[in-house]
Structure 1
Amino acid sequence: MTTSVPVAVRAARMPAAVALKKLRIIDDRLADGYGSPPSLNELAQLCGLSSRHLTRGFRVSRGCSLGHYAARLCMEKAMGLLSKDEKVYKVAAALGYTTASGFSDAFRKQCGCTPGEFRRAAL
């Protein structure tokens, strides 16, 4: 025998979306510059939320995880630098990667091509 859960109870279990003001705080911090991305705890503290609440609410608000969103923003920055003919190792260092190969692997996974292939196509 299955028990159905009332709609009001199901709605109460759904995570709330993160407010637009808090999303802007996250966007500003992620776009703050190059180098190491902020930690989940840092972003949660900036927003005045627990890391769990931020994680669940962010997914509801943006339709993807905070990690995927940050990775996409990072690769967008990389694409901008690569289209200006920056060297791959310089782009990797500017974005906080310790090795060019680590950056290349992440870029390929996110974008479907290597940074060198992207740069050649962009120029």
Structure 2
Amino acid sequence: MSNSRHLPEAPTDIRDLAATASVTAHWHDGHQVVYASSGVLAVHTAESRWITPAHRALWIPAGTVHSHRAFGVTRLHLFGIPKATSPLKLAEPTALTVTPLLRELLIAYTALGGERETPAGRRMRGVLFDQLATAPEQPVRVPAARDPRLAEVCRLLEEDPSDSRGLEALGREVGASGRTLTRLFRQDTGMTFPQWRTQLRLYHALRLLAEGRSVTSVARLCGFATTSAFIDVFRRSLGHTPGSYIHSGQKSHISGWSLHNVGVGLVWGP
């Protein structure tokens, strides 16, 4: 991400992104919380990729070079936080669970515009800080590999998440033993191979669900043995079934007060 842009202020506002729209690599002087109330947003850094469905937000620390890509029509809520007033002490990007209260606060506060510095706006920001400080960390994160042999294995699985081969078989294609690749997964990603592959499959599953694919077809395309196995892994990892995600997570549950303040048709500025 050597061609990244420096955008000093981390904005607080709402952006509507078309399906497959992307935002080039950039970084801010302040921290930022990124939340998609509808659609699915992928956030990439040099070290990892995250995907943030409607039950997750991503904390992006100041100075972190990152890019975005939307899957499905996505409403993006951006909350910029100066370093001096940060409610979190996280030095790395982190996915946070979005409770119903945190969701409504992010939607309402990013819609306030010029009213954020009124007494009511400052009180809302204080509650928002309290909620962020206690939000559990629950990522769907795909760490990048540094070793070229492991990077090639990751590329093969990225191209076909349904590939069910083990590390010995994959290693024969890249010139490394299964034992070596096992060590490299721990060393480069901090995960075991099964853990990493599950994260990769969930990453692709969320993208495909956002594109309108059925739960059954997503399970097959992402390499889960059965639809039931996919539903079980999805629920244990994200706290919801794929079906409930499709029917509720994709919708923007904006209250009448919030809807009155939300602008539409916004595009990403420089």
**Normalising by structure 1, what TM-score?**
0.74
Identity %: 29
Measured against aligned partners, the alpha-carbon deviations of 1:41-80 in whole angstroms (never above 9, x if no partner) come to 1222223222112101220111111111111000111001
Relative to its length, the structure with more helix (as a share) is 1
Deviates more, 1:28-37 or 1:64-73: 28-37
**How far apart in 1 are the matches of 2:239 and 2:198?**
14
Measured against aligned partners, the alpha-carbon deviations of 1:10-40 in whole angstroms (never above 9, x if no partner) come to xxxxxxxx85311320121111224333321
Residues 1:78 and 1:102: Cα distance change in structure 2 (over 3 Å): same
Where do residues 38-53 of structure 1 align in structure 2 (5 Å cutoff)? 38-53=165-180
SS in 2 for 1:110: helix
Residues 1:57 and 1:98: Cα distance change in structure 2 (over 3 Å): closer
Who is 1:119 aligned against? 246
Unmatched 5+ residue regions in structure 1? 1-17
Contact 1:30–1:38 (8 Å) recurs in 2: no
Relative to its length, the structure with more strand (as a share) is 2
Residues 1:34 and 1:56: Cα distance change in structure 2 (over 3 Å): closer
Q: Which of 190, 195, 203 is the equivalent residue of 1:63?
A: 190
- Kindly indicate whether residue 162 of structure 2 is the aligned counterpart of residue 32 of structure 1: no
- Stretches of 4+ moved more than 6 A in 1? none
How many Å apart are 1:122 and its aligned residue? 2.2
Where do residues 90-105 of structure 1 align in structure 2 (5 Å cutoff)? 90-105=217-232
**How far apart in 2 are the matches of 1:88 and 1:100?**
7
Partner letter of residue 83 of structure 1? A
Partner letter of residue 170 of structure 2? L
**Normalising by structure 2, what TM-score?**
0.36
Q: Which of 83, 89, 92 is the equivalent residue of 2:210?
A: 83
How many Å apart are 1:114 and its aligned residue? 0.9
Root-mean-square deviation (Å) = 1.9
